[in-house]
A and B are shown apart, each in its own frame.
Chain A
Amino acid sequence: MLIALHHIGQYFLLLNRIFKKPENFKLYWRQTLSEMVSLGLGSLGLIAIISFFMGAVVTLQTASNIDSPLIPDYAIGFATRQSFILELAPTMMCLILAGKIGSNIASEIGTMRITEQIDAFEIMGVNSASYLILPKIIAALLIVPIIIIYSMFLGVLGGAVVASYSDFSSMDKYLLGIRWNFTMFSIVYALIKTLFFAFIITSIPSFFGYYVRGGSQEIGKAATKSVVYSSIVILIVNYILTELLLM
């Protein structure tokens, strides 16, 4: 318990160091751009495949579980849209990104720690916490929402493909369901959650990587821990935000 509190305190102290004024904007901006490319492009393929098939499966499941004549056919499209936009895209995809991006960040920064690269930055008068972590956080805040919108789109598309090729629904009815009772707020809501998650999946793994001590074994442990903890924090924050935003 005490150790947990110690870690949480250390995490916030680190955040405090990260959000200091950058020494050299040009270098930071260059770093942010390259992080955007590596965080963003690196995840597009995975997210595309998962979203498309999840959309297809959600549509199939909904269709095969609705057998009451009282429920209109367009409910299938509606259910796909709602589940994707509200939860599957922001929460599930961020959990997946936590696994992919998180372990990456923790091992990258952890390696820099044990090979003394972080010390080398400090010697050169660079605030290493800020230089290494801030660009990652900013890049994620900019790029993860785009990935999530892309995931929403592909999920709905996956459902549409199923709807048009199977016999329990038609494209028209699916599209009607997709548009039925649509409010812009659900997208805004999803993106607000996404921003929180983007912060979590970059800052927590950075924290575990930054404080690695010892050898390469420790890096593996830090990577695992960072995925576990960022996933748990995402789930908790998701619950809190859902309470707050939908009430």
Chain B
Amino acid sequence: MIEIKNITKSFGQTKVLDDISNCFKQGEMNLIIGASGSGKSVLIKCIVGLHEVDFGNIEFNGRDFTKMSFMQRKEIRSEIGMLFQASALFNSLTVEENILFPLQMYTKMSNEEMLDRVNFCLKRVNLINVNQKYPAELSGGMQKRVGIARAIALNPKYLFCDEPNSGLDPRTGIVIDNLIMELTKEFQMTTIVVTHDMNSVMETGENIIFLHQGKKWWEGNNIEILKTDNKELCDFVYASKIMQKFKNQ
């Protein structure tokens, strides 16, 4: 469980996040949705500590992250897996070395154990025979999967995904969404997914928060979201013709 309280963050004069509080539940898919530029990426980067918050607290199972020293944070970070918006695979390393990296950094496993773990993770995301390939040789969907495999390498308690299905065709997108959902249930992780894709919202949204103008504008699940009468959220959800049609029926 991750609890954030009164998170506020500005870049210069512009306030990107304004007093956001929420509780992200363990073993469930927690979605952050909102229009482009609404601060979704900034919010998860604040939670994992890539940006320092100006104000507010972040608690990982009761441990206050914002008050920690570098070494204490490192311990929490070893429990965090993150999939970045652009996959962020290390492009000078092979797929295998990419997944080995966190293992070499944090564990004292022997080489064979590490390779076993790598192969387990790759198999878990349905990738085979790519160990010696470089990220540039893989398709976007495969890169995302390697990103997920790297994120789960250390058996994280907390999984963060920044737009896991952007740039993918709808079907591959759903495959990735379902994969993240399965892993969340299987390993009982606290998973936070940033998305602006209505497909994933409908498929996986167990807890959803909607960001607008830097504020938490709405929260609920994928059934409630269809019944909402919140104007800004309706504009977001029913932006496409197909969704409008769906609403009118």
| Segment touching A, from B75-83, B171-179, B185-193 | B75-83
Q: Is the interface of B mostly helix, strand, loop or mixed?
A: mixed
Given contacts A123-B50, A123-B77, contact A24 B88 (CB under 8 A): no
Whether the Cβ atoms of B91 and A117 lie closer than 8 Å is: yes
Contact of A27 among B45, B85, B86, B104 (CB under 8 A): B104
The smallest beta-carbon distance between A30 and chain B, in angstroms, is 10
Interface status of A149 (Cβ within 8 A of chain B): no
Given contacts A117-B90, A120-B84, A122-B50, contact A24 B104 (CB under 8 A): yes
Whether the Cβ atoms of B90 and A120 lie closer than 8 Å is: yes
Residues in B109-133 with C-beta less than 8 Å from chain A:
none
Which residues of the other chain, A, contact B217 by a CB distance below 8 angstroms?
none
Chain A interface residue count, Cβ-Cβ cutoff 8 angstroms: 15
Interface status of A16 (Cβ within 8 A of chain B): no
What does the 1/0 interface line of B43-74 toward A look like (CB < 8 Å)? 00100101000000000000000000000001
Contact of A123 among B82, B89, B90 (CB under 8 A): B82
Contact of B84 among A24, A26, A119, A126 (CB under 8 A): A119
Which residues of the other chain, A, contact B48 by a CB distance below 8 angstroms?
123
Q: Which residue of A lies closest to B104 (CB)?
A: A27
The smallest beta-carbon distance between A2 and chain B, in angstroms, is 15
Whether the Cβ atoms of B101 and A124 lie closer than 8 Å is: yes
Which residues of the other chain, B, contact A115 by a CB distance below 8 angstroms?
86-88, 91
Interface status of B102 (Cβ within 8 A of chain A): yes
Interface status of A125 (Cβ within 8 A of chain B): yes
Chain B interface residue count, Cβ-Cβ cutoff 8 angstroms: 21
Q: Which residue of B lies closest to A120 (CB)?
A: B88
How far is it, in angstroms, between the C-alpha of A139 and the C-alpha of B49 when the chains are bound?
A: 31
The smallest beta-carbon distance between A100 and chain B, in angstroms, is 18
Whether the Cβ atoms of A123 and B105 lie closer than 8 Å is: no
How far is it, in angstroms, between the C-alpha of A111 and the C-alpha of B92 when the chains are bound?
A: 12
Q: Which residue of B lies closest to A34 (CB)?
A: B92
Q: Which residue of A lies closest to B86 (CB)?
A: A115
Interface status of A116 (Cβ within 8 A of chain B): yes
Contact of B106 among A26, A122, A125 (CB under 8 A): A125
Which residues of the other chain, B, contact A125 by a CB distance below 8 angstroms?
74, 77-78, 105-106
How far is it, in angstroms, between the C-alpha of A83 and the C-alpha of B65 when the chains are bound?
A: 59
Interface status of A23 (Cβ within 8 A of chain B): yes
Which residues of the other chain, A, contact B104 by a CB distance below 8 angstroms?
24, 26-27
Contact of A124 among B45, B87, B91, B102 (CB under 8 A): B102
How far is it, in angstroms, between the C-alpha of A120 and the C-alpha of B78 when the chains are bound?
A: 12
What does the 1/0 interface line of A1-45 toward B look like (CB < 8 Å)? 000000000000000000000011011000000000000000000
How far is it, in angstroms, between the C-alpha of A213 and the C-alpha of B87 when the chains are bound?
A: 18
Whether the Cβ atoms of A119 and B105 lie closer than 8 Å is: no
Whether the Cβ atoms of B84 and A124 lie closer than 8 Å is: no
Which residues of the other chain, A, contact B74 by a CB distance below 8 angstroms?
125
Which residues of the other chain, B, contact A116 by a CB distance below 8 angstroms?
84-86, 88
Which residues of the other chain, A, contact B90 by a CB distance below 8 angstroms?
117, 120
What does the 1/0 interface line of B13-32 toward A look like (CB < 8 Å)? 00000000000000000000
Which residues of the other chain, B, contact A26 by a CB distance below 8 angstroms?
104
The smallest beta-carbon distance between A121 and chain B, in angstroms, is 8
How far is it, in angstroms, between the C-alpha of A126 and the C-alpha of B70 when the chains are bound?
A: 11
Which residues of the other chain, A, contact B78 by a CB distance below 8 angstroms?
125
Which residues of the other chain, B, contact A123 by a CB distance below 8 angstroms?
48, 50, 77, 80, 82
Whether the Cβ atoms of B50 and A119 lie closer than 8 Å is: yes
Q: Which residue of B lies closest to A117 (CB)?
A: B88
Task: List residues of chain A with CB under 8 Å of any chain B CB.
Answer: 23-24, 26-27, 111, 115-117, 119-120, 122-126
Task: List residues of chain B with CB under 8 Å of any chain A CB.
Answer: 45, 48, 50, 74, 77-78, 80, 82, 84-91, 101-102, 104-106
List 20 additional A-B contacts (Cβ < 8 Å) besides A116-B84, A125-B74: A24-B105, A27-B104, A27-B105, A115-B86, A115-B87, A115-B91, A116-B85, A116-B88, A117-B88, A117-B90, A117-B91, A119-B50, A119-B84, A120-B82, A123-B77, A123-B80, A124-B77, A124-B105, A124-B106, A125-B77
A sample of 21 inter-chain contacts (CB < 8 A) reads A24-B104, A24-B105, A26-B104, A27-B104, A111-B91, A115-B87, A115-B88, A115-B91, A116-B84, A116-B86, A117-B88, A119-B84, A120-B84, A122-B50, A123-B50, A123-B77, A123-B80, A124-B77, A124-B106, A125-B77, A126-B105
